[in-house]
Amino acid sequence: MTTLADEVASRRIFAIISHPDAGKTTLTEKLLLYTGSIQTAGSVKGKSSSKHAVSDWMDIEKERGISVTSSVLQFRYGKCCVNILDTPGHQDFSEDTYRTLMAADAAVMVIDAAKGVEAQTKKLFRVCTLRHIPIFTFVNKLDREARDPFDLMEEIEEVLGIGTYPMNWPIGCGQNFRGVFDRRARRVIAFEGDGRANATKKVAEVEADLGDATLDELIGRANHENLVDDIELLDGAGDELDYDAVRTGRLTPVFFGSALTNFGVQPFLEEFLRLAPSPLPYLDQESGSPVDPSRDEFSGFVFKIQANMDKNHRDRIAFLRICSGKFERGMDAYHVQGGRKIKLATGTSLMADDRSTVDVAYAGDIVGLFDPGLFSIGDTLCTGKTPVRFPAIPTFAPELFSRITQVNTLKRKQFVKGMEELAQEGAVQIFREPGFGMESVIVGVVGTLQLDVLERRLKNEYGVEVRRSGLPYTEIRRIANDADDFSVEKLRITRDALLVEDMRGRNLLLFTSVWGMNYVTERNPDLVLEEVSNFDLE
């Protein structure tokens, strides 16, 4: 009979991060393929195909071949229960990615073998380092022409400031790609694809020892000679794999392969599960002490809210990361932010938009809770005599602003509901001018693609057509003055500034420039402004 500690120890929860088009979602698909979770993998490149990535469930994701929202994927492999957090690679959806990384115990960083470390990878990497979680690197697309692997490792070390340890080593690249050398097992694993651009089945594996004469025929004499030289150079460095450095995010194990054609995917999965940590403790803000994942008392936090995953029921699901103990369907828990006990009537296990009821889950699992509008991102749920409170989820200042107006005034109720629910997801931030209704609102986002998704979802999920007009504002600040001592009606602002309020009724100012913001503060010496974001990547 397994104990709570055994169940927790078997959990692995990680996020996959990358720059757009590095192959993140394709790698996710192939991991599911190798674990038997799916029978065929849909390439996100196949826009004209009927197949799409399992983790891409929105219509816009299937049409454009991109991921624009985080997906939760759970499967078992061997003795491990694995939760993958597949995050958007597109920079316009970085907020969703950053929040999701708060729920992960490790990260898999996918790097394009031809392009190396790219801009979005740098930002996401820095979020991981703030939490000191282990980072595993998968250098992808070896089936295409690639940079020298030594150069790639040097770039990772210099640009990201993390040590590298190659777990395997590529044999050629592009049309000359013949497989990888497993450094721990001291063997060559050669692969053969199925002759198609997107392999959809497991490929055959052939093993041979380094230096074996049969390798000349298997991978070619020139490749064999180059491999011997490279491995001698790596072994000559004398570096051993430092497990402590891996666990604290100071050293990244590096794997080479090709997710599209299945090269190196299964060896990577098995090594990752061997090295990745079981659920890590989260800090209780009340006591200042870490919460043991194996303790009896249940606890967890909401890191994501998604509306309308089921088009037939217009539901809202709160994604809960379980931090300690055991979840049981129908259990009572204390909602810390709400200050009251609630019944967790239904738990859901998710595979993108497919779901099944969960009766029991453990620390390191993700469960979906039906949300009638009770939860917010960052909320803590717990049991026990002494409540715990986990750290707040980062918020981000929008960089682009647009005015969104409903076309059909008879659809006001649907428009208001749609805007409020999508704002609660964290997909956009909504502001309105004091004294005005909700027929026209100001939306703040990080990138323009978020506005495209907003329009699409309002139309498809709420039946609302909208008009969108860009606004010139680039800076946003919250008014921090005490409302009892400070009157916003007396503010002296210019035409380059706009007074708005958020959905909680808090007052903010939008500015077209930093100069304009400074000018307003000079004209209003009692005015106190504060940043909207509580998270800074600079």
Around Cβ 241, how many Cβ atoms within 10 Å? Answer: 14
B/e letters for 364-395, b = 16+ CB within 10 Å, e = fewer, are bbbbbbbbeebbebbbbbbbeeebbbbeebbb
| Residues of the chain where predicted confidence (pLDDT) is lower than 70 | 37-71, 88-95, 191-208, 238, 308-314, 347-355, 534-538
The pair phi, psi for residue 5, each rounded to 5°, is -65, -40
pLDDT of residue 65: 37
Q: Which of 95, 85, 102 is nearest to 24 (CA)?
A: 85
Is the separation of the CB atoms in 231 and 183 below 8 Å? yes
Q: What is the DSSP letter of 500?
A: E
* Single pTM value for the model: 0.80
pLDDT of residue 192: 67
Q: Which two tokens stand for residue 248?
A: 């604290």
pLDDT of residue 448: 81
Edge-to-edge order in the sheet of strand 466-471: 466-471, 400-406, 440-445, 429-432, 497-502, 507-511, 475-479, 529-531
Q: SS3 letters for 280-323?
A: CCEECCCCCCEECCCCCCCEEEEEEEEECCCCCCCCEEEEEEEE
pLDDT of residue 51: 45
pLDDT digits (tens, 9 = 90+) for 184-237: 888 888 766 554 544 444 444 566 677 778 788 888 889 889 999 999 999 887
In angstroms, rounded to a whole number, what is the distance separating the alpha carbons of residues 521 and 383?
A: 46
pLDDT of residue 424: 78
In angstroms, rounded to a whole number, what is the distance separating the alpha carbons of residues 122 and 166?
A: 20
Is the separation of the CB atoms in 515 and 497 below 8 Å? no
131, 137, 253, 417 from 246: Cα distances, Å:
13, 11, 7, 46
Around Cβ 242, how many Cβ atoms within 10 Å? Answer: 13
424: Cβ contacts below 8 Å, ≥ 6 apart: 305, 307, 316, 373, 376
Which residues on adjacent β-strands are paired with residue 501? 432, 507
In angstroms, rounded to a whole number, what is the distance separating the alpha carbons of residues 343 and 387?
A: 16
pLDDT digits (tens, 9 = 90+) for 413-425: 999 988 888 887 7
Written as one letter, the residue type at 288 is G
pLDDT of residue 64: 38
307, 456, 461, 481, 523 from 315: Cα distances, Å:
6, 18, 11, 38, 48
pLDDT of residue 451: 87
pLDDT of residue 189: 80
* DSSP letters spanning 319-379: EEEEEESEEETTEEEEETTTTEEEEE--EEEEETTEEEEESEEETT-EEEEE-SS---TT-
The pair phi, psi for residue 462, each rounded to 5°, is -125, -5
